[in-house]
Structure 1
Amino acid sequence: MPFYKFLDRGASFDPQAVCLQQGTAQWTYAQVQQASYLLADKLRSLGLGPGHHASVLSKNDANAFMCLFGINRAGLAWVPANPRLNQQDNQYLLDQFDCQVLLFHSAFESMVRQLVKTTPKLKHLVCIDRALEGIVSLQEWTANASPSTESYASQPDTLVMLAPTGGTTGKSKGVMLTERNLLAYQAGFMVSLAYDQAERPVNLAAAPLTHAAGLCTFPVIARGGKVVVLESPEPASMLAALASSGATETFLPPTAIYRLLSHPDLAKYDYSQLKYFVYAAAPMSVEKLKQAIAAFGPCMTQVFGQTEAPMICTFLSPKEHMQGSALAPDQTLSSCGRPTPLVDISIQDELGQQLPHGQQGEICVKGDLVMAGYYKQPELTAQTIIDGWLHTGDVGYIDADGRVHICDRKKDMIISGGYNIYPQEIEQLIWAHPAVEDCAVIGVADEDWGEAVKAVVELKANARVTAEELMALCKHELGSLKTPKSVDFVDSLPRSVNGKVLKKDVRALYA
């Protein structure tokens, strides 16, 4: 199912209901539909449709987000450009993914003027919010378009999204997501994050709409709900908006949640209307998760996925975070939940054999959620999808209750003195220290051990702890083998646009 149909379904409940809101500006379902009709007609008039690609480069912006439905209604694949990448990286993305159309916010004018010089495939530049010298505005571009309700003929294997991977291990790859993939995502999300048919959810979209936060809005729109757009999850504005917007759900990566938890305004607001506070994209500290439940109530919701199998491979519901009125055991809180109904998950060894519950191996995923492949990279696709199983690169196990646990990325595993050490176990302990905001544990070259464990730590504002104290804590709890041989403190860890700590960048500092 193309995702413009999610918009049309939401509009069927009440075309005059508010679909998008940013600040004091609001757009009804009828207005968002109209904007999508005009953009789709303009694209079709240029001979563009299925097989062509269009990109949107913008900060979180309601007008930019509306463009996605017009792109999809015309049958083009949406390529999410990353507003936090530099010019060279966005040039690589637009060129490698064969983008013909770029819709952009005027804040990126300087970058776009350079991009067009080095990206000859770009044929159409349109500024979303205003006209620029030599560049037409979206309003002007679609002025003569027809508000036709015509849409492209839906086909399950039509490419609807060409999603760049997070780039945590190198250049972004183009993940081909089809109608079938997004329908499986939509179904899994709506089954897991349940609402009554009469409920109209409110999603607070503060994380980048180019990534998971954008996908989270589709189920809300299909239910006739409202999406409130924030430019960023800046803690003070995020906390205020969680209360004032009437949000029933939101999504943030753990790093952003940590910053909310340490903000002085945390206890200032009432968050009781929150039904689902979704955290994903990176492992979360169990101790900080407990703090989040105390602060926001029993609404914390864990999901696990990848760009290659978006977001909803597993689900740990708010109720599963609790055991009656008490917190669930750490073993439950450290999991990412059980497989969702439309997904199969297998733990496999290096030979592709399924391992029994309790044994560690690579987490593999099968089902309609799994991508069609990597764009123009058939060899890499064949290495990643084997016999229908997506090899995620995550090491984990399934416990006796059927919950999936992620130990670490295969590429992040440290081999010290012949022993396999998973950084996340050490990170969980360091995260629990009251002075620590975030941390990354990596392996660094060592003449004796091959690799030695190093912790790179970001402290909370005005908090203090010494390297010796952290190493003593690790030695007491984990033993000498897993204790960092050194601890460095940094002002800020390098992160991707969706909040993941970029361990490749951390490792590069010590290469």
Structure 2
Amino acid sequence: MIIDSFDAGATAYPDRIFVQGGDVRMSYQDAADASHAVAAALVRDVQPGTHVGVLSPNHPMVLPAMLGVMRSGAVFVPLNARDPIEDIIWFASFCEIAVLICHPQYAPHLERLKQEIPTLRRVIGLTEPLEPSGHCIAQWVKDFAGQRVSVRREADDIAIIKSSGGTTGRPKAIMQSHRSLETAYRISNQFTPPRKDPVHLVVAPLTHAAGATMVALARIGARNVIAPSADPGVILEAIEHERITHIFLPPTMIYRLLAHPDARTRDCSSLEYVLYGAAPMSVDKLREGIALWGQVFMQSYGQSEVPGVITCLSRKDHFVHNDPELDKHLASAGRPSGACEVALMDDAGNIVGTGERGEIVARGDLVSPGYYNNPEATAEARAFGWHHTGDIGVFDENGYLYVVDRKKDMVISGGFNIYPSEIEQVIWGHPAVQDCAVVGVPDADWGERLTAVIELKPGCNATADEIIELCRKRFGSLKTPKQVEFWPTLPRSPVGKVLKKDVRSQLTAASKPA
């Protein structure tokens, strides 16, 4: 069971601080005791396999709540507090949650939650009761203090059901087994051995990537510090003040840190691992980060269906030779981690060779069981006996995997297939550019008109002509955007991914005649 990763840390480091945030500091032993109490309360009311949701912004009490759900043998359903309430209710209803552990900020929505989630039998307050006759985790911790829970689930039982994010419509509910998650945690720790007592700064939602990182790092006794906000200045201050060693960030947040005026004055020498993933990373900004913070970067490529570590670009792989040929792998997603078998496949189900493009597919213990209540999507994703990621990739002669683009993001312009990610890499290299998205917009002449939408660094300027000329020098006319726009901010998902479907839909709507 995935709770075993935490228990290993609690056994080895009982007195070490497990989580701190605001006025709360909780040791590993305290967190273990609290999670047993939460599990004991759940076991009294629900059967193993029952779906239990947790809805909260980052808060220290989220951790014993999550761990308690896992320990009870229930299925943990993380709900993203950054989503609109309508989306939260839809996903909780689709996943048929029976119990909801909920932060008090959602008290105004309590009646709606109870009415619109048909399977919901009980709502538990995270820090205080949400209604006069209700209960909260703090009460459970007192009422069930000292009780121990020893529920065991099989390796292939479902541990977590996560949202796919819904960047292309209604999200799918991804089932993750104990086996796939334990495989991910084990491989992840092999790539991140600490040199000293690890301190993990929690910036991303605990119910998503940061929570997975926290459980993996628990085995080595990491102290988890919850950042007061995702403001770049606050993050840089926390790195210096708390002597942070580990941090997971999407590339967009790394760009913002590098552009912040405090980036070169704050002491970030404690950093051992800046873990990044979830989206392609600008090589120019990666070089900038290495020059500033040293050889501390590590990339992992995966997705919730194949958690986290299909491939890894290790800290050692981030050494800069200042030789284009030797450094070309900085644009890659690394090499297969050993957590699963990885290959590239054409549309007919044939494995393609080195240097050929194909869809990235995986099979083995890391692969999750599929999608909840969606056998059609599961069957489609598992065609030819492999899980299909939807990403197009190519292996080089040294075994590095380059993620060329999302299959659905490919642009067909003038009859040619164009992969936006390689154009984005060039635009990211402009000194005024903070982030960008390249998409195809319907066009009567071209089929799709290649369009770049750019978010500039604060206080910086650039022109469309500069961007067009930069791309033309690199690619010639075919892959040069026909249209360049500058937006104050790009639309992003709650976990920081640029929503290309929203960029595309806004551009398409603007191009239609009134």
TM-score (norm 1): 0.96
1:304-345 Cα deviation digits (max 9, x unpaired): 000101111111112211146989844111001000022211
Give the match's secondary structure for 2:507: coil
Aligned to 1:289: 286
Matched, 1:161 2:160: yes
Q: What do residues 220-273 of structure 1 show as CA deviations (whole Å, max 9, x unaligned)?
A: 111122111114321011001112222211100000011101111111222222
Letter in 2 for 1:249: H
Q: Do residues 182 (structure 1) and 181 (structure 2) align?
A: yes
Q: 1:387 to 1:445 in 2, by over 3 A?
A: closer
Kindly indicate whether residue 146 of structure 2 is the aligned counterpart of residue 147 of structure 1: yes
Letter in 2 for 1:75: G
SS in 2 for 1:268: coil
**Which residue in the other structure is 1:108 paired with?**
106
In 2, Cα distance between the equivalents of 1:133 and 1:312?
42
1:256 corresponding residue in structure 2: 253
Identity %: 40
- Aligned with 1:305 (options 299, 302, 306): 302
Is 1:475 matched with 2:472? yes
Corresponding position of 2:411: 414
Aligned counterpart for 2:485 among listed residues 484, 488, 493: 488
Does residue 376 (structure 1) correspond to residue 373 (structure 2)? The answer is yes
AA in 2 matched with 1:248: T
The letter of the residue matching 1:22 is G
Q: Within the alignment, does 1:507 sit opposite 2:510 as a pair?
A: no
CA distance in 1 between partners of 2:386 and 2:445 (Å) = 38
On the 8 A contact 2:228/2:234 being kept in 1, the answer is: no
CA contact (8 A) 1:298 1:319 kept: yes
Mapped partners of 2:141, 2:248: distance in 1: 33
Task: Tell me what 2:60 maps to.
Answer: 62
SS state of the match for residue 61, structure 2?
A: helix
Match 1:352 to one of 336, 349, 353: 349
SS at match of 1:434: coil
Per-residue CA deviations over 1:450-504 (Å, capped at 9, x if unaligned) read 1110111111111111112211211121111111111111111111121110111
| C-alpha spacing 1:84/1:333, structure 2 compared with 1 (3 Å) | same
Structure 2 CA distance for partners of 1:295 and 1:111, relative to 1, 3 Å: farther
Aligned mates of 1:29, 1:502 — CA distance in 2: 38
- 2:144, 2:7 → 1: CA distance? 20
1:236-251 equivalences under 5 Å are: 236-251=233-248
In the superposition, relative to structure 1, how do residues 122 and 231 fare at CA in structure 2: closer, same or farther (>3 Å)? farther
- For the residue of structure 2 that corresponds to 1:255, the secondary structure is helix
Q: 1:357 to 1:112 in 2, by over 3 A?
A: farther
1:45 aligned onto 2:41: no
Question: Which amino acid in structure 1 is aligned with residue 92 of structure 2?
Answer: L
Residue 88 in 1 paired to residue 86 in 2?
yes
Q: Equivalents in 2 of 1:239, 1:398: separation in Å?
A: 36
- Matched residues in 2 for 1:431 and 1:478: separation? 15
Structure 1 residue 292, shift from structure 2 partner: 0.9
What is the number of residues matched between the two proteins? 507
Query: In the aligned structure 2, how far is the partner of 1:485 from the partner of 1:140?
Result: 61
Cα deviation, 1:324-373, whole Å, max 9, x if unaligned, reads 69898441110010000222110111111111111111011111111111
Structure 1 match to 2:386 = 389
| Partner of residue 267, structure 1 | 264
CA separation in 2, counterparts of 1:424 and 1:112? 43
Which residue in the other structure is 1:99 paired with?
Answer: 97
Shift of 1:274: 1.4
Residue 78 of structure 1 aligns with which residue? Answer: 76
Cα separation, 1, equivalents of 2:118 and 2:216:
36
Correspondence for 1:277: 274
- The answer for unaligned runs of 5 or more in structure 2 is 509-514
| Distance in 1 between residues matched to 2:308 and 2:47, nearest whole Å | 27
Checking the alignment, whether the CA contact within 8 Å between 1:458 and 1:491 is kept in structure 2 is yes
Three-state SS of the structure 1 residue aligned to 2:359 is: strand
In structure 2, distance between residues paired with 1:344 and 1:52: 32
RMSD: 1.6
Report the counterpart of residue 7 of structure 1 in structure 2: 6
1:55-83, CA deviations, whole angstroms, 9 ceiling, x for partnerless residues?
A: 11111111012211100111011111011
Q: Is the 8 A contact 1:64 1:104 kept in 2?
A: no
> In structure 2, what residue type is equivalent to 1:33?
A
Structure 1 residues 466 and 325: CA distance shift in structure 2, 3 A: closer
Q: Distance in 2 between matches of 1:505 and 1:229?
A: 30
Q: Which runs of 5+ in 1 are unaligned?
A: none
- Counterparts of 2:316 and 2:143 in 1: how far apart (Å)? 52
1:182 partner letter = L
Cross-structure match for 2:511: none
Report the Cα distance in structure 1 between the residues aligned to 2:228 and 2:309, rounded to whole angstroms.
25
